[in-house]
């Protein structure tokens, strides 16, 4: 996959002995407090993040709305010479939003022949051993249809049936049917299909066909356990949702209209994601909140604010925006209201009586794009006034960036949302970008960031993870102004055409998932936060020329999707030189531990003399983790653990000790003061 990639790192070919560097940490001079919410998640429906990703539903195009002309992802399954045909049919299921059905004409079968409707899933239906799957679907038949239906998970050629069950007599009226399928001790595989078939002639109509494997915490409309486990191990403190561009939508009709994403699945009309595929909206507002609940994350709810990804063609402002301000108030009530409120009662009816905690609301997304800037102050003012009047404690996040210094606010926001998609040199430079930020200016949420250029792989290379870590040291060091941050995007389905945005934190196919080197950097940093920043100084600071920093060239080998738009905010003026080592120190008050985060960008090891001042005792035994590897190394479905952190065990720690940082490495050390 990575053929043709060259890595330029001038000193890369030889291992040079570096001049020792002293890292002095002033343990007795605690500085900025790190907000407990500092590390979190951001994502949206992109790269088959939810449908075909985190959302455990296995049937693709389950309500037949993905393409108005044909039943994409569906085919006719034929057995013993049976023949039939399928077509979309505008036959609604009464009292639901299901307005189109899949019609199966099985009128010609005789004897032992069978035909059925087959779904290919999201690049396959994953079969696992000893696993129970829940099937449900709406169906009706032509008059006089006699037979039962059979549901099955089978190999794509139909020769191997992994699990099957019969569903009782289907009649002439729409009705919901359900069944369970249980596999035996089979070998895991994905080249499989799900089939509903008949052995008796007739015409059948189907709607909302669903197949769920076991889910995280057994939620009925739940999430994939393997991906949730990866997320849980990051210990994220918040989730910013629903987007991103997904909040705005490609146009007004396809904005994230939260009221159409709640309640029974058959009542959700589905909508087009800006990433060119239709969202099933199985991940609706309540599912996002329950995702937060399951991982102990605080929701950061972004509310639709009139802007779409349509180059500013139809920005909603003024009186036309008022219903959407009310939608935002209703949304906050759905999240936080008790069951005596209208929308709190609706949430209770939807299955979650307990309100959720909500402290932050973001108004829109990237309103500096799509000609949004000119109208944003007016729009933000309407939302701020309405939200603060009813919910004075909620903090408002503006989508204007810290660099938009000339933007004039009628209502000062509580926080700004900065986004950066960066090259390696850009990320290294930006690790210092907040050092001189005006300490009295508005606080910042770095709500989307990643080292992701050049863009040619589904998930980050080790080289990108190094730059991510360097950038993160800058965010932590400036924790007095940076309140929280989240890498983006979070997910990618690594199958062909699964990706719309190059370079994403976690990859998967239908069967397995893996964390990228950048995922492990996130995990290392988030699991070792500390609550206060300690002054840390490197002397001498090793410097690298532009030619000496890891740069990946020959980059553009897109896999599975269009190139992402270049939307990084303008970088500070490029320096002539870059830091070769990045160091950041925090203290965890509860344990007393001093935590060091150390990034060696250099192509050779770096010996550090670590000098902890203002602390009487540092125990000899210390622990930590370190990740390193080839600059172009990636993790994949085939090699999910190729680049992972290794434990560090130190037995000679003290107030003064030496520690070597391997070339191209990220280390986190925990030094014990008690």
**Which residues carry out catalysis?**
366
Residue 462 sits in the site that holds ligand AHR (CB under 6 A)? no
Residue 244 sits in the site that holds ligand AHR (CB under 6 A)? yes
User: Least distance from C-beta 667 to ligand AHR, angstroms?
Assistant: 28
Closest to ligand AHR by CB, 243 vs 515, is 243
Max Cα distance, the chain (Å): 88
User: Least distance from C-beta 302 to ligand AHR, angstroms?
Assistant: 10
Region of 114 on the Ramachandran plot (φ > 0 left; ψ -120 to 50 alpha; else beta): beta
Residues contacting residue 463 through CB under 8 Å, at least 6 positions apart: 7, 424, 550, 552, 631, 632, 664
Residue 366 sits in the site that holds ligand AHR (CB under 6 A)? yes
* Residue 639: other Cβ atoms inside 10 A: 11
Closest to ligand AHR by CB, 460 vs 489, is 489
Stretch that binds ligand AHR, among 52-60, 140-148, 238-246, 535-543 (CB under 6 A): 238-246
Instruction: Identify whether the C-beta of residue 50 lies closer than 8 Å to the C-beta of residue 243.
Output: no
Instruction: Identify whether the C-beta of residue 244 lies closer than 8 Å to the C-beta of residue 301.
Output: no
Stretch that binds ligand AHR, among 242-250, 387-395, 455-463, 591-599 (CB under 6 A): 242-250
Compose the 164-193 pattern: x for residues touching ligand AHR by CB under 6 A, - for all others: ------------------------------
User: Least distance from C-beta 367 to ligand AHR, angstroms?
Assistant: 10
Closest to ligand AHR by CB, 243 vs 605, is 243
Stretch that binds ligand AHR, among 240-248, 404-412, 459-467, 517-525 (CB under 6 A): 240-248
Q: How many residues bind ligand AHR (CB under 6 A)?
A: 12
Residue 561 sits in the site that holds ligand AHR (CB under 6 A)? no
Compose the 625-664 pattern: x for residues touching ligand AHR by CB under 6 A, - for all others: ----------------------------------------
* Crossing angle between the packed helical segments 318-336 and 285-294, to the nearest 10 degrees: 40
Instruction: Identify whether the C-beta of residue 499 lies closer than 8 Å to the C-beta of residue 486.
Output: no
Residue 362 sits in the site that holds ligand AHR (CB under 6 A)? no
Two structure tokens written together for 277: 């595929």
User: What is the C-alpha separation between 485 and 186, in angstroms, rounded?
Assistant: 42
> Strand locations in 266-352, DSSP E?
271-272, 278-279, 298-303
> Contacts with ligand AHR in 491-530 (CB under 6 A)?
501
Residue 44 sits in the site that holds ligand AHR (CB under 6 A)? yes
Listing DSSP states for 576-595 in one string gives SEEESEEEEEEE-TTT--EE
Query: Can you tell me which of 290, 414, 448, 579 binds ligand AHR, judged by CB under 6 A?
Result: 448
Instruction: Identify whether the C-beta of residue 300 lies closer than 8 Å to the C-beta of residue 240.
Output: yes
Residue 488 sits in the site that holds ligand AHR (CB under 6 A)? yes
Two structure tokens written together for 580: 């070769």
Stretch that binds ligand AHR, among 11-19, 27-35, 69-77, 237-245 (CB under 6 A): 237-245
Closest to ligand AHR by CB, 302 vs 643, is 302
Residue 370 sits in the site that holds ligand AHR (CB under 6 A)? no
Instruction: Identify whether the C-beta of residue 518 lies closer than 8 Å to the C-beta of residue 460.
Output: yes
Q: How many CA atoms lie within 13 A of 530 on its CB side?
A: 28
How much of the chain is helix, strand and coil, in % rounded to 5?
Answer: 20, 30, 50
> Rule CB under 6 A: which residues touch ligand AHR?
44, 243-245, 365-366, 419, 448, 488-489, 501, 567
């Amino acid at each position: 996959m990575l053929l043709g990639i060259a890595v330029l790192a001038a000193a890369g070919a030889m291992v040079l002995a570096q001049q020792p560097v002293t890292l002095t940490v002033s343990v007795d001079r605690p500085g900025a407090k790190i907000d407990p919410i500092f590390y979190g998640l951001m994502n949206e429906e992109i790269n088959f993040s939810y449908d075909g990703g985190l959302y455990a539903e296995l049937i693709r195009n389950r309500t037949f709305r993905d393409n108005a002309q044909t039943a994409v992802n569906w085919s006719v399954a034929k057995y013993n010479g049976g023949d039939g045909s399928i077509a979309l049919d505008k036959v609604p299921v009464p009292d639901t939003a299901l307005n189109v059905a899949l019609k199966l004409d099985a009128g010609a079968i005789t004897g032992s022949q069978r035909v059925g409707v087959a779904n290919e899933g999201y690049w396959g239906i994953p079969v696992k051993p000893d696993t129970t799957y829940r099937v449900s679907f709406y169906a009706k038949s032509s008059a006089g249809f006699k037979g039962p239906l059979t549901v099955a998970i089978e190999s794509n050629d139909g020769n191997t049936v992994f699990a099957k069950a019969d569903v009782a007599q289907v009649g002439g009226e729409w009705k919901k049917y359900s069944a369970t399928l249980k596999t035996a001790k089979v070998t895991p595989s994905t080249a499989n299909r799900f089939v509903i078939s008949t052995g008796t002639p007739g015409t059948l109509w189907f709607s909302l066909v669903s197949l769920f494997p076991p889910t995280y915490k057994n939620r009925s409309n739940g999430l994939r356990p393997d991906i949730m486990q990866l997320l849980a191990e990051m210990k994220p403190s918040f989730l910013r949702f629903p987007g991103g561009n997904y909040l705005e939508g490609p146009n007004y009709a396809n904005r994230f209209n939260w009221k159409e994403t709640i309640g029974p699945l058959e009542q959700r009309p589905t909508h087009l994601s800006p990433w060119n595929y239709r969202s099933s909206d199985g991940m609706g507002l309540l599912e996002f909140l329950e995702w937060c609940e399951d991982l102990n994350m605080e929701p950061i709810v972004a509310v639709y604010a009139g802007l779409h990804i349509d180059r500013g063609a139809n920005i909603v402002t003024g009186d036309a925006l008022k219903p959407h301000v009310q939608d935002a108030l209703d949304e906050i009530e759905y999240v936080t209201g008790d069951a005596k409120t209208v929308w709190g009662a609706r949430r209770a009816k939807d299955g979650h009586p307990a309100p959720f905690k909500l402290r932050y609301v973001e108004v829109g997304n990237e309103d500096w794009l799509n000609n949004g800037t000119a109208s944003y102050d007016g729009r933000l003012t309407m939302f701020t006034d309405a939200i603060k009047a009813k919910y004075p404690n909620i903090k408002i996040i503006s989508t204007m960036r810290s660099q938009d210094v000339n933007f004039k606010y009628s209502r000062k926001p509580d926080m700004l949302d900065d986004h950066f998609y960066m090259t390696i040199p850009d990320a290294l430079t930006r690790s210092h970008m907040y050092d001189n930020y005006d300490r009295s200016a508005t606080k910042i949420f770095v709500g989307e960031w990643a080292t992701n250029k050049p863009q040619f792989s589904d998930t980050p290379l080790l080289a990108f993870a190094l730059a991510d870590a360097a950038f993160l040291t800058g965010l932590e060091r400036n924790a007095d102004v940076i309140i929280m941050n989240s890498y983006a995007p979070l997910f990618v389905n690594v199958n062909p055409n699964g990706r719309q945005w190059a370079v994403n934190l976690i990859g998967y196919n239908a069967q397995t998932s893996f964390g990228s080197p950048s995922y492990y950097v996130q995990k290392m940093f988030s699991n070792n936060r500390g609550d206060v920043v300690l002054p840390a100084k490197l002397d001498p600071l090793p410097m690298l020329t532009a030619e000496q920093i890891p740069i990946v060239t020959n980059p553009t080998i897109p896999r599975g999707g269009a190139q992402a738009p270049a939307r990084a905010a303008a970088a500070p003026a490029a320096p002539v030189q870059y830091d070769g080592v990045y160091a950041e120190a925090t203290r965890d008050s509860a344990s007393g531990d001093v935590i060091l985060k150390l990034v060696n960008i250099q192509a050779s090891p770096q010996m550090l003399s670590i000098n902890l001042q203002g602390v009487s005792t540092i125990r000899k035994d210390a622990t930590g983790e370190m990740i390193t590897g080839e600059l172009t190394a990636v993790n994949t479905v085939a090699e999910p653990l190729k680049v992972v952190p290794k434990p560090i065990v130190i037995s000679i720690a003290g107030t003064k000790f030496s520690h070597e940082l391997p070339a191209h490495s990220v280390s986190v050390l925990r030094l014990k003061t008690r």
